[in-house]
Structure 1
């Protein structure tokens, strides 16, 4: 019996996972415990959870694998340092910080002093981890693996062919050229300055026109082999000025990536406090179009090279669900898989599975497929009851009714009825989702038929930009009737066009361009959520509910106490905690 602990440490979205004999046991991001979005640092609480879930201690872990390797691409790093003009003091500062962070055994002793680690630490190259996180848990015996992100271990993209249990990195794009940096720079330029704000550009893009595509052609050059290069005249990161990414008090941040020359192409940047104008919407649309052109240029090249019809994606850019939804129509690939944590958190899984295959050799046969995302903490009925009892006076002050409904069919029917009445539901069930998406266990649910539901949610709970869409969770068997593309999308990683004749029926989950970032729900992956949507279909004829994450400008709730806090401080109508139905 071999346990391998996988880590993403000292970077945004710190996370841990545990693999036992080639099977995932647990996986969770540290932000869910620390309650700070994208928390970066050493994921001690995530490690504790993974060990507890398996019922073991650190002494039982044979290997710890981390998704970065300082030795990777060392000659490229040295050549760049010698030719770029970056100050020696900056380089030394970065090297010192990296040495401190890569002492994994020391960090385990410091952060988990009550436990002893006797195993071996493995440093695994960043993009190999991304590729492994997608291919080695995918349903495909053979597939092209592609990773695209900002930067990791001095590269920004990588690709290779996965066959059975074998996976190798065959090509890549290296610092300072990065499709992720291009998209992040455009995100900053439009006035979204925080780490992880790129999804806002995706949501804004359909409101604009691609009027700046020609100008953006001067920002990034595409090559026939699928690679790309930034025009460094417009970016600051290669000089060290913008390469000052840091994590302070767990909060990741980075410097401004674009320089003032870019205003000659696109006009003045938007101040984050200023209102959005049509020009900003057009820049967002143009940035998305430019990203897609580069992305599909790469996919076309790797398909031609490997000649297989399946592709798996990872890296932070794998969260570009709009581009992912166009793979079938704009690339030769016929099958696609993107696991639920495609970004750096997911690299912990890649590190663990890559290490398992390395240490076990020919004995390590792929047999695990990640077909659901429910790998995080759960709450027992006793824990839920205790959390409710601790807040009884607050429930009384809000005139709440608390009922225990032990029959699942009755619970789902009651919740579906509340949804059909236009109520906003907090839905807390089972194990926490792995990755950034709420997928029916830590979700806020609403009626997709109500044209005012987006405004209701933004007013009552989310308090976010009005242009951002809400997602449809749909029964897998109904996708072909409601969407133009029929495929499995269990992790909400693709945007498909909703059939034109259906859009008026589900306005709350139909974006301005007629699309929806769907989640397909199966009875096998999530029986209770499937039963709830089925009950709503019986009432309404619509096999879809609106699904958004259970939070209010914070990480998705993890514990019942956090769900209760969110319910009580917002204007949510109903809270369903396991079998307990609480209504205002």
Structure 2
């Protein structure tokens, strides 16, 4: 950010080609942001960090977080793995280590920090989540719910935002963590914790109630009458012996049996466990909000933190909004920990007197490439390509004919969702098209649903209780009259995860209008343009490499078209 204005936002994973880039300092992302803004590192006055490392600083008698962990040791039994994990965390967040590691990472990408290096300002993790939501919501005042695995000692918090101020009003500390709970079962089901929770959410729709599982889950989690109005028993998660996994204990295995293998086809036992987990999450969040919001004047609600990426939970909360629990509802689409970078920057701007609200209208803050740059890459690659007068017309025609199209345009979108600039597009009117996307590129579990991009002015015709949803962060039920018409984007529970599109994305809007003219359907299947276990493509080279390594029918990149069958019908030049 410069002078309170958001210029660029990018995640390290896109540059190092490692999904989520766990525990890597964002040196390449910083380099891009500085270059895009025309800013030299010597002009940077401060670096905002979305974790309060001061709580980890070694002092006589132990750091605040060391004392916190010790207090939990007096209550719970911790095995060697848990103690080692706590020690590693205490070391990782030492302020001196953060500074030296960050500046070393920057130097490795050519950013030399002088002795007069920028000051690092540390902010609490949940405060950053809260700031990223409220200051980007467009609300003058709002309640703010932040919920994730943990940030320092906090795992859930309720805040009040008004103007430039954000104040915490309720705090839930470890180990009563719903994020921990979800990651525990993600690993138990054979998936990767803190990465595959979306798979578990999708699998839950195939589940069904089971009285035996209900009795087990009653031991692990449930609702209570006192604050925080839900409970999580950590003896099934982090506290106890871990013979089978890092995030669930042997006690859980005693109750449920051996850990599950990740299922490519729907496994009913795994689906039933996922169903229980999802329901318990929704019940816990609703219980907390109903009790806490009832004590204050009705206001808007903002939501952030990793758990806010659960689009089924967000649909449940949106229903509560319609029924009057709160007024406006804003979900920060950058709800993962990557979004705390934005929240920390916004808080730092307020600290130095440059603060402002930055309502999010789009997420196109990443790298972009000119047609000259793209054509140079195309020539170097040796692929046959055509330049066309209207890429939107070309795309709509191909989609109407059943082709699966890779689409690379403009600035890359931030966050985990493809929003029409680094996307795979397909015709939504047949489930065969969803199968084709999987076969041609994604190679993921067939029970996972695909998102949709639809014209905002058509959303009322398609969705129950529709509203503007530009960030693909909430699911909606599809009207019965449309479910059979668009099976490629309707999940087993009758829902879709849409991106409602306006002229904010002019090219995507044009595709949808032209596709409607050709087919009568104002929406397309939209999923991320990436290979298996990779982040979104970031550059023309990556787009071409991913396309050539797939069986996709076409790649439209800038003004250029590559097709499997050679030339384009609207060829201008080659």
Normalising by structure 2, we get a TM-score of 0.89
Whole-Å separation in 2 of the counterparts to 1:106 and 1:279? 44
Assess if the C-alpha contact under 8 Å between 1:328 and 1:334 holds in 2: no
CA contact (8 A) 1:142 1:308 kept: no
Pair 58,109 (structure 1): closer, same or farther in 2 beyond 3 Å: farther
Task: Supply the distance in 1 between the matched residues of 2:303 and 2:446 (Cα, whole angstroms).
Answer: 30
Moved more, 215-224 or 417-426: 215-224
Q: Tell whether the 8 Å contact from 2:374 to 2:557 is kept in structure 1 after alignment.
A: yes
- What is the rounded CA distance, in whole Å, between the counterparts of 2:95 and 2:52 in structure 1? 13
Match of 2:134 in 1: 135
Corresponding residue number in structure 2 for 1:173: 172
1:552-575 C-alpha deviation (Å, 9 max, x unpaired): 111110000000011111011111
- Structure 2 partner of 1:474: 454
Q: Does 1:504 align with 2:476?
A: no
Structure 1 position 53 matched with structure 2 position 36: yes
Residue 98 of structure 2 corresponds to 103
Shift of 1:314: 0.8
Q: Which residue of 1 aligns with 2:335?
A: 342
- Tell me the residue number matched to 2:68: 76
Question: Could you tell me how far apart the structure 1 residues matched to 2:73 and 2:4 are?
Answer: 39
Residues 78/22 of structure 1: CA separation in 2 closer, same or farther (3 Å cut)? farther
Stretches of structure 1 that go unaligned for 5 or more consecutive residues are 1-18, 243-253
Farther-moved stretch of structure 1 (296-305 vs 137-146): 296-305
How many residues end up aligned between the 2 structures? 540
Q: Distance in 1 between matches of 2:100 and 2:41?
A: 11
Distance in 2 separating the partners of 1:273 and 1:456 = 20
Match of 1:460 among 425, 429, 440: 440
Q: 1:138-158: per-residue Cα shift (whole Å, max 9, x none)?
A: 111111111111112121111
Classify the secondary structure of the residue corresponding to 2:526.
Answer: strand
Matching residue of 1:531: 510
Between Structure 1 and Structure 2, which shows a larger proportion of strand residues? 1
- Structure 1 CA distance for aligned equivalents of residues 445 and 337 of structure 2: 26
Assess if the C-alpha contact under 8 Å between 1:135 and 1:145 holds in 2. Answer: yes
Q: Which among 56, 63, 72 is matched to residue 46 of structure 2?
A: 63
Check 1:240–1:561 CA distance in 2 against 1; reply closer, same or farther (3 A cut): farther
Alpha-carbon contact 1:148-1:318 (below 8 Å) kept:
yes
Partner Cα separation in structure 1 for residue 484 and residue 89 of structure 2: 54
Residue 320 of structure 1, aligned match among 307, 310, 315: 310
- Whether contact under 8 Å (1:314, 1:338) holds in the other structure is yes
Separation (CA, whole Å) in 2 of partners of 1:459 and 1:199? 20
CA–CA distance in structure 2, aligned partners of residues 479 and 92 of structure 1 = 50
Partners of 1:168 and 1:240 in 2: CA distance? 38
Q: Quick one: which of 402, 408, 421 aligns to 1:441?
A: 421
- Runs (5+) with no aligned partner, structure 2: 56-63, 565-574
Counterpart-to-counterpart distance in 1, 2:193 and 2:74: 32
Q: Partners of 2:111 and 2:254 in 1: how far apart?
A: 58
Corresponding residue number in structure 1 for 2:20? 38
Aligned to 2:223: 222
Secondary structure of 2:54 counterpart: coil
Structure 1 residue 292 corresponds to structure 2 residue 282? yes
Q: 1:196 maps to which residue?
A: 195
Residues 210, 283 of structure 1: 8 Å contact kept: no
Q: Distance in 2 between matches of 1:470 and 1:147?
A: 27
Aligned to 1:578, which of 532, 537, 558? 558
Secondary structure of the equivalent of 1:484? coil
Residue in 2 that maps onto 1:152 = 151
Greater Cα shift, 526-535 or 90-99? 90-99
| Native 8 Å contact 2:142 2:300 kept in 1 | yes
TM-score normalised by structure 1 residue count:
0.88
Q: What pairs up with 1:3-14 in 2 under 5 angstroms?
A: none
1:217 touches 1:290 (CA, 8 Å); kept in 2? no
Q: Is the 8 A contact 2:42 2:113 kept in 1?
A: yes
After the TM superposition, which of the residue ranges 154-163 and 494-503 deviates more from structure 2? 154-163
**23, 28, 31: which one aligns with 2:10:** 28
Rate the CA distance shift 1:491–1:348 in 2: closer, same or farther, 3 A. same
2:231 corresponds to 1:259 = no
Structure 1, residues 417-467: CA drift from partner, whole Å, max 9, x if none?
100101010000011111010000000000001221111111111000010
Change in Cα spacing, 1:48 to 1:162, as seen in structure 2 (3 Å) is: same
CA change 1:522–1:215 in 2 (3 A) is: same
> How is 1:345-364 mapped onto 2 (pairs within 5 angstroms)?
345-360=338-353, 364=355
* Distance in 1 between residues matched to 2:315 and 2:366, nearest whole Å: 27
1:23 deviation in Å?
Answer: 2.0
Q: How far is 1:371 from its partner? A: 1.4
Aligned pair in 2 of structure 1 residues 91, 322: CA closer, same or farther (>3 Å)?
Answer: closer
Q: Which moved more, 1:528-537 or 1:207-216?
A: 207-216
CA–CA distance in 2 between the matches of 1:109 and 1:268? 44
Out of 369-378 and 93-102, give the one that drifted further: 93-102
Q: In 2, are the aligned partners of 1:471 and 1:517 still within 8 Å (CA)?
A: yes
Give, in whole Å, the separation in 2 of the partners of 1:484 and 1:91: 46
Taking the aligned partners of 2:217 and 2:143, their CA distance within structure 1 comes to 29
Please give the secondary structure, in 2, of the residue aligned with 1:387. helix
Work out whether residues 156 and 174 of structure 1, in 8 Å CA contact, stay in contact via their aligned partners in 2.
yes
Structure 2 match to 1:13: none
SS in 2 for 1:169: strand
Tell me, yes or no, if the aligned pair for 1:422 and 1:450 is still in contact at 8 Å: no
Counterpart contact for 1:220–1:230, Cα < 8 Å: yes
Q: What do residues 175-221 of structure 1 show as CA deviations (whole Å, max 9, x unaligned)? A: 12210111111111222135411100111111110223343122113
Q: What secondary structure sits across from 2:481 in the alignment?
A: coil
Q: Hey, what's the Cα distance between the residues in 2 that align with 1:226 and 1:139?
A: 29
Provide closer, same or farther for how the CA distance between residues 275 and 576 of structure 1 changes in structure 2, counting only shifts above 3 A.
closer
Q: Does 1:543 align with 2:519?
A: no
Is the CA contact (8 Å cut-off) linking 1:438 and 1:548 kept in structure 2?
Answer: yes
8 Å CA contact 1:173–1:227 kept in 2: the answer is no
Higher mean displacement: 98-107 or 449-458 = 98-107
- Cα displacement string for residues 79-107 of structure 1 (whole angstroms, at most 9, x for unaligned residues): 33565565787655543333277532662
Structure 1: distance between partners of 2:280 and 2:363: 31
